[in-house]
A and B are shown apart, each in its own frame.
Chain A
Amino acid sequence: MTTTVSAPLDVAALRADFPILGRTVRDGKRLVYLDSGATSQKPTQVLDAERRFLQERNAAVHRGAHQLAEEATDAYERARALVADFVGARADELVFTKNATEGVNLVAYAMGNAATSGPEAARFLLGPGDEIVTTELEHHANLVPWQELAKRTGATLRWFPVTDSGRIDLSDLDTVVNERTKVVAFAHQSNVLGTVTDPAPIVARAKQVGALTLLDACQSVPHMPVDLHALDVDFAIFSSHKMLGPYGIGVLYGRAELLAALPPFLTGGSMIEMVRMEGSTFAPPPQRFEAGTPMTSQAVGLGAAVEYLSELGMDRVAAHEHALTVAALAGLAEIPGIRVLGPPLVDGDVADRGGAVSFVVDGVHPHDAGQVLDDQGIAVRVGHHCAWPLHRRLGVPASVRASVYVYNDLDDIDAFLAGVRETQRFFGVV
């Protein structure tokens, strides 16, 4: 790590903010929660913010002239501003969606709608001969919507392959992204391997050929400092529930001038400018993309989550997770019969690798390994983690994934490593 860190996270203290960590599982065992890549736990501050909003200021936002409606609207828009500030964006560049998956679909469907929209939407037009680019390590959420867009428009889907060590292979960047490319969608950090991709070369090439970029930041925004303006991507998506926030809300970032020209996806109330029986015009962004009553208390909760994370300091969060990841990788390397997917440690360290460690245990199916870990109170994810093509590429049907966050400590890693050994002992493979 090159980041300078003033003081490490005080994990013992912050664990007190997460009451669920105090419960036991499977006959009184300490809960070792290593599944934050799937969803994070929520601190009391976030839960309190939601409850306080509902108890003190609840009303439908952006309508109604009464005091509660004003206060609710202020709380909702303040949350948008907090989140925007957290990722280096402007508030009017952030759209709240149901989840991150909806964010990708919003862009994909809006691009599909360009054919029936005004001339300002022409830049999003796509048809036979055009190309959509993604990568082989994507979460299904950043793959299937593009497959479907290709199907609807006649465009061709292409993808960057993945190297043996689990990184996006950019060696053919200039061929894969070419004059026919309309959009390049890729993950900032792999949800399976933790590998972090530097967006710079992809963004530079996309700009050269006039293609749009969409960054899946679901696994980066919760875990490291992310400045979307500095990264210069056109769109980005991320998810509240993976960053200490509530369920039911995700975020789509779009550069202001793009959102201004992008046709709507979902239509209805709240997103209109003027409605007549013959047809309607639409509100400016972000309202144009927030049809219907929005998830207000959830936005307030997400605002509290980014305040919480900001107070911890994202540099410190990243450094903390890096230390845990290195400890997990080092421990696994000492256990014979374990194959870690993704970049290994070299001289005791690894660069550009976030806090997700996926592996297979020789002779033990991931489902069975997960069950033995669970029996010891250790919660991990097993399966393909919504990245089936990546698993196919790496030659395994499924894997076990341990993923860390702010509240994990070295005791968790020690328990996990002991659990992996117990898995081997239980199934008699050592």
Chain B
Amino acid sequence: MQLQQMYQEIILDHYKNPHGRGLRDPYDAESFQVNPTCGDEVTLRVRLDGEQVADVSYEGQGCSISQASTSVLTDLVVGKPVGEAFKKLDAFLELMQGRGEVEPDEDVLEDGIAFAGVARYPARVKCALLGWMAFKDAVARAEGKA
């Protein structure tokens, strides 16, 4: 059954107990992203400390995939240099756009590798990327201000 490949325990755990959830102050920039086909949305804030991602906080409504993926994102990027965070973003993008053909690197993506099964379902890739796109946008805004 492919369903278990998609809904890995890791994903369901992040969905039920999301990490870093809630909007926090202070922050440098905020991004609001919406998936127009289903109405899922996320508001995500980024605080940078020099080159470091000091905090990512978020609020949103959406399916397990979009919510869990945003939770995983915060684990992966908070405390990391922006350059490294963007490398992870690229790796996650590559995984999600790989139609299940890309072998993820656990050293880079950690819990993010659980989304490999989601990549087989093109309709759900947007869900998995919602928070990541908000992060990318928020960092760009924060850097634009600096």
Contact = CB atoms under 8 A, between A and B. Distances in A.
Interface of A: 26-27, 365-368, 371-372, 375, 382-384, 388, 391, 397-398, 426-427
Q: Which of A367, A383, A391 has the most CB of B within 10 A?
A: A367
Interface in B29-43: 37-41
Contacts of B139: none
Contact of B124 (A26, A27, A367, A388): A367
Contact of B38 (A27, A383, A427): A383
B146 interface: no
A397 B40 contact: yes
B37 A383 contact: yes
B65 interface: yes
13 contacts: A27-B2, A365-B62, A365-B64, A366-B38, A367-B62, A367-B63, A367-B65, A368-B63, A371-B6, A371-B7, A383-B39, A384-B39, A398-B39
| Nearest 10 interchain pairs by C-beta | A367-B63, A365-B63, A383-B38, A375-B3, A384-B39, A397-B39, A368-B63, A398-B39, A368-B64, A397-B61
A368 to B, nearest CB: 5
Given A383-B37, A398-B40, 4 more contacts: A26-B2, A368-B65, A397-B40, A397-B61
B44 to A, nearest CB: 17
A147 B139 CA distance: 34
A333 B61 CA distance: 26
Contact of A371 (B39, B41, B62, B121): B121
Nearest to A382: B38
B3 A426 contact: yes
Contacts of B3: 371-372, 375, 426
Contact of B40 (A26, A367, A388): A367
Contacts of B65: 367-368
B7 A426 contact: yes
Contact of B1 (A375, A384, A427): A375
B8 to A, nearest CB: 13
A164 B11 CA distance: 35
Contacts of A398: 38-40
B127 interface: yes
B52 to A, nearest CB: 33
Given A365-B62, A365-B64, A367-B124, A375 B39 contact: no
A424 B89 CA distance: 33
Contacts of B40: 367, 397-398
A418 to B, nearest CB: 15
A365 B130 CA distance: 15
Contacts of B39: 383-384, 388, 391, 397-398
B144 to A, nearest CB: 31
Q: Which of B3, B41, B65 has the most CB of A within 10 A?
A: B3
B29 to A, nearest CB: 25
A367 B127 contact: yes
Nearest to B6: A371
Contacts of B124: 367, 371
A26 B120 CA distance: 12
Nearest to A384: B39
B2 A384 contact: no
A366 B121 CA distance: 16
A420 to B, nearest CB: 15
Interface string B35-77: 0011111000000000000000000011111000000000000
Contacts of B63: 365-368
A367 B61 CA distance: 12
A395 B23 CA distance: 23
A114 to B, nearest CB: 32
Contacts of B121: 371
Q: Which of A371, A388, A398 has the most CB of B within 10 A?
A: A371
A26 B7 CA distance: 16
A371 B62 CA distance: 14
Contacts of A372: 3
Nearest to B118: A371
A382 B35 CA distance: 13
A397 B37 CA distance: 11
B38 A384 contact: yes
Nearest to B37: A383
Interface in B7-27: 7, 12
Contacts of A371: 3, 6-7, 121, 124
Contacts of A368: 7, 63-65
Contacts of A426: 3, 7
Interface in B89-146: 121, 124, 127
A23 B56 CA distance: 46
B11 to A, nearest CB: 10
A191 to B, nearest CB: 15
B4 to A, nearest CB: 9
A385 to B, nearest CB: 10
Contacts of A384: 38-39
A189 to B, nearest CB: 22
A26 B124 CA distance: 16
A382 B38 CA distance: 7
Nearest to A375: B3
Contacts of A26: 2
Nearest to A26: B2
